C-alpha cells in the first residue's frame, strides 16, 4: 500500500481520539505523520488553556511525540513563511512545514484558511481529517480496520468498543468517518 506523508495541524492534534488515531495509523505504517515544533507548541498552548490543571501532563505527552516519532519533526521551513498567501497569516508556518517536508496532505479543520491553489502550486492537498480518514480507509479497508483495532486496544480506562469510538470521533469533528466506523462496528469489535 502507498504510504503518504501527512502534515497535521494543531487543531487535529488537539483532539485526543483523533490524535491517537493518527499516531496509530503512523505506527501501523499507513501514513507518515509530520508536524513542526511550532505546531506542537500551539497544541500544548490550546490544551493547557482548556485543561489548566493538566498542564504538566499535556506538555510532557506532546513534547514526547518528538522522541517517539523522531522522523516526524519538520525543521528549517521558516524560509517559506510569509510567501504562501494563507488567509490567516498565523497558518503560514503550517503550510510552510507541509511544503518543506514534501507532505502530500495537510490535515486541518480550517481548510478555507489555506490557498485553494496549494495543491497545484505546492503539491500539498489541504484536506479535512474526516475526508482524509475515509480516503485512507477506501485504499485498503482490511489494513485500515486492523489499525483501528490497534487504536481501540490502546484505550483501557475506559475501554472503548467500536460504537463508543465512533461517538468519540464524531465529537472530534469527523462525522462521516464516525458513520463509516459505526457501519463496521461489529466487525471491528471482533478484531479486538
pLDDT tens digits, residue range 72-109? 999 999 999 999 988 888 899 999 999 999 999 999 99
Alpha-carbon distance 81 to 43, whole Å? Answer: 19
Q: Taking residues 121-148, report their average pLDDT.
A: 96
pLDDT band at 156 (very low <50, low <70, confident <90, very high): confident
Smallest CA-to-CA distance from 43 within 64, 27, 26 is with 64
Q: Which of 54, 60, 101 is nearest to 80 (CA)?
A: 101
Provide CATH 3.40.50.1010 ranges for the chain. 4-128
Which ranges in the chain belong to alpha helices (H)?
Answer: 10-13, 16-27, 37-50, 55-68, 92-100, 118-122, 129-139, 141-153, 162-171, 175-183, 185-191
CATH top-level class for 4-128? alpha beta
Amino acid at each position: 500500500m502507498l504510504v503518504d506523508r501527512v502534515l497535521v495541524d494543531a487543531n487535529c492534534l488537539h483532539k485526543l481520539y483523533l490524535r491517537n488515531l493518527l499516531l496509530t495509523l503512523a505506527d501501523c505504517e499507513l501514513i507518515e505523520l509530520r508536524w513542526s515544533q511550532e505546531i506542537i507548541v500551539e497544541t500544548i498552548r490550546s490544551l493547557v488553556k482548556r485543561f489548566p490543571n493538566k498542564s504538566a501532563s499535556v506538555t510532557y505527552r506532546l513534547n514526547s511525540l518528538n522522541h517517539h516519532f523522531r522522523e516526524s519533526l519538520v525543521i528549517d521551513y521558516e524560509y517559506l513563511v510569509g510567501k504562501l498567501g494563507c488567509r490567516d497569516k498565523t497558518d503560514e508556518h503550517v503550510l510552510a512545514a507541509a511544503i518543506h517536508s514534501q507532505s502530500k496532505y495537510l490535515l486541518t479543520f480550517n481548510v478555507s484558511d489555506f490557498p485553494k491553489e496549494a495543491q497545484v502550486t505546492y503539491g500539498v492537498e489541504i484536506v479535512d481529517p474526516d475526508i482524509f480518514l475515509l480516503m485512507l480507509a477506501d485504499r485498503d479497508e482490511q489494513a485500515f480496520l486492523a489499525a483501528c483495532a490497534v487504536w481501540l486496544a490502546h484505550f483501557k480506562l475506559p475501554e472503548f468498543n467500536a460504537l463508543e469510538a465512533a461517538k468519540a470521533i464524531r465529537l472530534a469533528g469527523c462525522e462521516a468517518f464516525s458513520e463509516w466506523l459505526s457501519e463496521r462496528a461489529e466487525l471491528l469489535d471482533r478484531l479486538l
